[in-house]
Structure 1
Amino acid sequence: MKTAPPNLPLAAPALGAVFGLAALLVLLAMAPLSLVLGDRAAAAGLSAAQVSGTVWRGRLSDAAYRGLRLGEVRLGVSPLSLLAGRPRLGFKGEAATGAARLGRGAVELIDVDAALPLGRLAPDSGLAGTVRMAGVSLDLRDGECRRAGGQVALQDISLAGLQLPGLVLAGDPACAGASLALPLRGQAEGVDVQADLRIGADGGYQMDMILRTTRPEVEAALGAAGYERTLNGHQRRLVGRLGQP
């Protein structure tokens, strides 16, 4: 009858490596968040009035991404991702939750859910509403869109102060060359809308909108919002930068 070999203790070098790695992870987790973010955040376009707490549990006060206000954001960084050189930050803020990786010339958003006022994203669009994101992922590297996915919808829409109940614009983000492309489509009673949005890695955007309607009050609101009436519908091109009028 064979007996099982005895459990051998870890060799001293291996045991030392395990404890050394554990100690390093603890030190990283307790490091000040400001020390870890540093130049990476600035290079990625992330800023905050104040950075407090540790890598394990930190907070950004009055945070913004390339001029887009995010408010207060609580976040924590995976110590293992620090060892790999691309910190992964889990975040939960006033309007968004998800994860992100920051690197020099690179920003990756992972499984982001958010609800943001349209006026905060594109103040001069003539539209008001709420932009909702579900499971959105985005990988920007060296000024180019490498990967995008998820779902985006614009809800609770009003045009020049006129409410458009039942109108929801929805679409899936995708990369189009170096830019992020978002085609939004929606219909409601007497209103049909097409909006094609492109966003560059620097936060600049261009949105081409076509609205068709059989409702006189909507036509009047379109005129007040600066839309041009054409044979193809009421059209307007918006060009700007996210978060800036």
Structure 2
Amino acid sequence: MIGRFIFVRDKALGRRGKLVLAGLLLLALIVLLPLRLVLGWIAPAAVTARSVEGAVWSGRIADLRVGPLPVGTVSAGLDVLPLMIGRGQLSVERAGPAPFAGKAYAGVGGTGLSSVSGVLPLPDGLGDLPITSLGFDGFSMRFSAGQCAEVDGTVKLTLASLGPLLPDAIALSGKARCENGKLVVPMRSAGGMETLTLRVGGDGRWQADLALSGLPPEVSAPLLQSGFAARPGGIGIGTSGVF
């Protein structure tokens, strides 16, 4: 009896009714699509999280991490308009006393980040450098076919004390640019005695080179014993890794 009722109802719907019903079912599936599935499609393997909760349009990612960069717990959602041009774009935002926000995308035109602003604490440093935080101000970048295609904005970082004779933290900043297919950020301190150049390739491999100039011998000698190397006009150290 129930099967007969469904058959009669199905006949009564007609072709237009069936299309409407199918459309509503598809819309329901899209609206209720789990965020964790979309994150798996858009994000590279270096992106990890403790948990991903909620629907694709409004969810929560706990302890989001991009390689060595801990982003923290963020609210996240897929943006609708970029889908019209074949691009999956995810917006993330971390509220609180140290806010952070940005967009990550993949699809037509390449992969990249846009409208990134805020500070990421680095309790474990970055490679062999005691970098305590990495900041972004209006930062955007796009890689296409493994090459840096366009970039804009400022990158900042804070370097912890390098020893008893250099007790103060060092703040450096610089404008990002594309150079020989890589993302390059030449940073300088306010006094100009400390410089750091960060290079990132399309495969996620990065290199950072720190140079210190104008140091007296009694200050540079302990650093030379801890891994720094002598250079024209000063000393320096390099490190590398993968995002």
TM-score using structure 2 length: 0.75
| Identical amino acids, percent of aligned pairs | 32
Q: 2:173 aligns to what?
A: 170
CA contact (8 A) 2:68 2:126 kept: no
Q: 2:34 aligns to what?
A: 32
**What count of residue pairs does the alignment treat as equivalent?**
221
Letter in 1 for 2:172: L
| Cα displacement (A) at 1:221 | 4.8
Supply the distance in 2 between the matched residues of 1:117 and 1:160 (Cα, whole angstroms).
Answer: 21
**Residue in structure 2 matching 1:134, options 130, 134, 137:** 137
User: C-alpha root-mean-square deviation of aligned residues, in Å?
Assistant: 3.3
Q: Pick 1 or 2: higher relative contact order, CA cutoff 8 A, min separation 6.
A: 1
Q: 1:182 aligns to what?
A: 185
Supply the distance in 2 between the matched residues of 1:34 and 1:103 (Cα, whole angstroms).
Answer: 18
SS for the counterpart of 1:168 is: strand
| Cα displacement (A) at 1:172 | 0.5
How has the CA–CA distance of structure 1 residues 112 and 218 changed in structure 2, closer, same or farther, with 3 Å as cutoff? Answer: farther
List gaps (5 residues or longer) in structure 2: 1-21
Q: 2:106 aligns to what?
A: 102
TM-score using structure 1 length: 0.74
CA contact (8 A) 1:153 1:170 kept: yes
Q: 1:200 aligns to what?
A: 201
Supply the distance in 2 between the matched residues of 1:144 and 1:32 (Cα, whole angstroms).
Answer: 32
Supply the distance in 2 between the matched residues of 1:86 and 1:135 (Cα, whole angstroms).
Answer: 21
**Residue in structure 1 matching 2:120, options 104, 116, 119:** 116
Supply the distance in 1 between the matched residues of 2:93 and 2:198 (Cα, whole angstroms).
Answer: 26
How has the CA–CA distance of structure 1 residues 26 and 173 changed in structure 2, closer, same or farther, with 3 Å as cutoff? Answer: farther
List gaps (5 residues or longer) in structure 1: 1-19
Q: 2:89 aligns to what?
A: 88
Trace 1:208-219 onto structure 2 (pairs within 5 A): 208-215=209-216, 218-219=219-220
Q: 2:60 aligns to what?
A: 59
How has the CA–CA distance of structure 1 residues 172 and 119 changed in structure 2, closer, same or farther, with 3 Å as cutoff? Answer: farther
SS for the counterpart of 2:115 is: strand
